[in-house]
Structure 1
Amino acid sequence: MFSMAALFFLFFLPKVVIVLFHGLEDMFQLFRWSWWKLTPAGEASGEVISRTRFLSQIGLYAAAVPFIGVLYGITKGRRSFRVEQVPVRAANLPAAFDGLRIVHISDMHLGSFPKDSDIVARGVDMIQAQQPDLILFTGDLVNDYADEAEPWIPLLSGLDAPLGKYSILGNHDYSDYAYWSDPAAKVANLDLLKQHHATMGFRLLLDEHVPIERNGERIGLLGCQNWGRGFQQYGDLGRTLQGTETFPFRILMTHDPTHWEAQVWGTGVDITLSGHTHGAQFGVKINGHTYSPAQWVYKHWAGLYEHEGQRLYVNRGFGFIGFPGRVGMPPEITVLELQRG
């Protein structure tokens, strides 16, 4: 039922908490010994003993918190998809696209799912239930290898939208984290992954754009290869933007949200769609606000952002990697409804 990674998180984290509290207990024991040497025997020792016993008990209770959290994240959290309804209003949106429903998904990481898992099917059913006009996927289909996607090709091929399905590549899709003794094998792996996108019915955009037409009017859909600080930068935004100036409204797909501030600001692109952060797969809600370790790393880590009329939406991800679960940061299916006005 559980992978080795799941068992590691399930049992290792609680032990870390116990060790920390036992370290505090040892400090109190040292204090007790020093106090006993400096004072008459028996003075205050009962109080110190009760403190150490108290710390041991608190340590056990505290260790139960990460155990329960990790267990929930692995068994329930990673399958509890949340649909985020996001209205996007724009005065320059052509009338034909008023009310357009875009389902935005990201970071499937299909290699993380057991082959007999029903989680992917559950997510696919929820995507289709949103009755999307357009489906957009913003990268990281796999963890490293193209064959991770193969068990899921028939399922993902069943996704359907009247205006089509489009995708881009994420940092993991290039397989830069795997060891390749033969560079040609790495190239072949990426070529196979591109073919899988096509087999599933997704038009993969590689620093290019396509027109989306509806009732005689058009908007521009742009797809840039991965660009992010700390990663090899494959994307060429200038090439992606070429020939798009005449579109009255433009949507850009780029995997890493840091690309938005670094290069997309000032281009006039109306809305950028990204993923990558996963919301760290962990979050805590306090007074209506969700806090996540992701915000220590990324300025724009989840949800909708705006800068001088340009907008960014960061999807929290469909799958998981590393920790095989999600705690307080459920997998996300985003429904963006374009509204004119």
Structure 2
Amino acid sequence: MLKKLKECEPDLIFITGDLINSDENEISPMLDLVKKLREIAPIYFSLGNHEIEYEKRTGIDLTEKLEKAGAKVLEEKFVDVTVKGQKFRIGGLYTVYIPEDYEVHEWGNAKEQAEFLKEMEDTERYKILLSHIPNTWMYYDTAATFDLNLIFTGHAHGGQAILPFVGGLYAPDMGYFPGRLSGVYEKGHTQVILSRGLGSNTEVIPRFNNIPEIVEVELK
């Protein structure tokens, strides 16, 4: 994986969560990987459900450890960067959905999340959001009210097992046969890039006919 990433010669590396499983006891491989990735390009990291569940289970602050390893962790935060003369705003947000009434739900305070997005969108820079779970950006109309240019997301594992002429068999929070589960989507004025990712959830079903992927995006 490191060899392939070096060949891409990236200006930025985005990780949208679930770099570990929530029941892990040893996180040094994750931190060692981040250190090696940082030698290739700056890393921006948004937390996935497995990192959040790991923190709740162990009480360990993964954000602190990831940032010491060299990643910039973004959770309801954004940073302004300039790359090759181009100005970007990069933010991160973990949520499953933002309801229209901005109620508090099990994935956070929707009002606070919406306020963060409104602050993030208030710029002339090109706006990129890292957000682990795709549901908000693909299935809920509320997302279209925020002025974001590009969203990177994951979580769906590409459907775990991909069946010919059918597609993905199962995706977390989406159930069986949920439809298209990777690629580029258009949601209003926003592009959403959904990755199949590199790993697997063997508790449900092994990964089958579902080639792991590193997503390489060229912005023009």
Structure 2 CA distance, aligned partners of 1:172 and 1:154?
A: 18
The Cα shift of 1:146 comes to 6.4
Q: What corresponds to 1:331 in structure 2?
A: 212
Structure 1 CA distance, aligned partners of 2:7 and 2:151?
A: 24
Matched, 1:304 2:184: yes
Higher relative contact order (CA 8 A, sep 6+): 1
Matched, 1:292 2:168: yes
1:9-48 CA distance string (max 9 Å, x none) = xxxxxxxxxxxxxxxxxxxxxxxxxxxxxxxxxxxxxxxx
- Map 1:125-144; keep pairs closer than 5 Å: 125-144=3-22
Which structure would you say has the larger Rg?
1
The Cα shift of 1:168 comes to 0.7
Q: What corresponds to 2:129 in structure 1?
A: 252
Secondary structure, counterpart of 2:4 in structure 1: helix
Structure 2 CA distance, aligned partners of 1:196 and 1:213?
A: 25
Structure 2 CA distance, aligned partners of 1:217 and 1:130?
A: 19
Contact 1:306–1:312 (CA under 8 A) maintained in structure 2: yes
Matched, 1:124 2:2: yes
Structure 2 CA distance, aligned partners of 1:220 and 1:162?
A: 21
Amino acid at match of 1:197: L
Amino acid at match of 1:321: N
Amino acid at match of 1:301: L
- Map 1:50-69; keep pairs closer than 5 Å: none
Q: What corresponds to 1:202 in structure 2?
A: 71
Runs of 4+ in 1 over 6 A off after TM superposition: none
Q: What corresponds to 1:272 in structure 2?
A: 151
Over the aligned positions, Cα root-mean-square deviation in angstroms equals 2.8
- Map 1:1-341; keep pairs closer than 5 Å: 123-145=1-23, 147-160=25-38, 164-175=42-53, 186=58, 188-189=59-60, 191=61, 193-228=62-97, 232-234=106-108, 236-260=113-137, 261-262=139-140, 263-286=142-165, 291-294=167-170, 297=175, 298=178, 301-323=181-203, 325-339=206-220
Amino acid at match of 1:305: Y
Structure 1 CA distance, aligned partners of 2:186 and 2:129?
A: 14
TM-score when normalising by structure 2: 0.79
The Cα shift of 1:284 comes to 2.4
1:268-303 CA distance string (max 9 Å, x none) = 2111111000012210234xxx61124773466211
Amino acid at match of 1:172: H
Structure 1 residues 222 and 152, CA, compared in 2 at 3 Å: closer, same or farther? Answer: closer
The Cα shift of 1:224 comes to 0.6
Structure 2 CA distance, aligned partners of 1:162 and 1:247?
A: 28
Structure 2 CA distance, aligned partners of 1:170 and 1:228?
A: 14
Of Structure 1 and Structure 2, which has the larger fraction of its residues in strand?
Answer: 2
Of Structure 1 and Structure 2, which has the larger fraction of its residues in helix?
Answer: 1
Contact 1:281–1:330 (CA under 8 A) maintained in structure 2: no
Structure 1: where are the runs of 5+ without partners?
A: 1-122, 181-185
Amino acid at match of 1:139: G
The Cα shift of 1:234 comes to 3.0
Secondary structure, counterpart of 1:211 in structure 2: strand
Contact 2:6–2:40 (CA under 8 A) maintained in structure 1: no
Structure 1 CA distance, aligned partners of 2:55 and 2:67?
A: 24
Residues paired across the two proteins, number: 204
1:237-264 CA distance string (max 9 Å, x none) = 4314415421331111111110114242
Contact 2:46–2:132 (CA under 8 A) maintained in structure 1: yes
Amino acid at match of 2:82: E
Q: What corresponds to 1:75 in structure 2?
A: none
Secondary structure, counterpart of 1:319 in structure 2: coil
